[in-house]
Amino acid sequence: MEGRLREVLEGLLERGVRGAALLRPDGLLLEAVGEASGAAERAAALLGLGVALAQSQGEEVAELVVEYPEGALFLAPVAGHHLLLLLEDLQDLGRARVALKGVRLRIEEALA
């Protein structure tokens, strides 16, 4: 599983994406490539905050985007987990969303 998952995540490291990681539902890191391992800790904390905030409003988190001076974090649910992409800039968000559509099934297969 880990080899296949790592390969899928490495495929996301294209223009504008500096790192990719998959977090378990509880926020723990499952796999990371590129510069995402350090960002995964921040993302786990943000994910917990975002989920708690959404639940307090009776909603679910579809995506979470946080902009930093050095880039942006993009979190999206995939196969019961959370995909984290560390972006160069917020302008890369559209490209990241398109890439996500292309790898959802591959991530699900790698987790099976």
Output the 3-class SS for the chain. Answer: CHHHHHHHHHCCCCCCEEEEEEECCCCCEEEEEECHHHHHHHHHHHHHHHHHHHHHCCCCCCCEEEEECCEEEEEEEECCEEEEEEECCHHHHHHHHHHHHHHHHHHHHHHC
* pTM score: 0.84
| Range ranked top by mean pLDDT from 28-42, 55-69, 71-85 | 71-85
Give the range of the structural domain holding residue 43, as residue numbers without chain letter: 2-111
pLDDT in tens, 63-103: 888 888 878 889 888 988 889 899 998 899 999 999 888 88
Q: What is the CATH number of the domain that holds 53?
A: 3.30.450.30
Structurally, the chain folds into a number of domains equal to 1
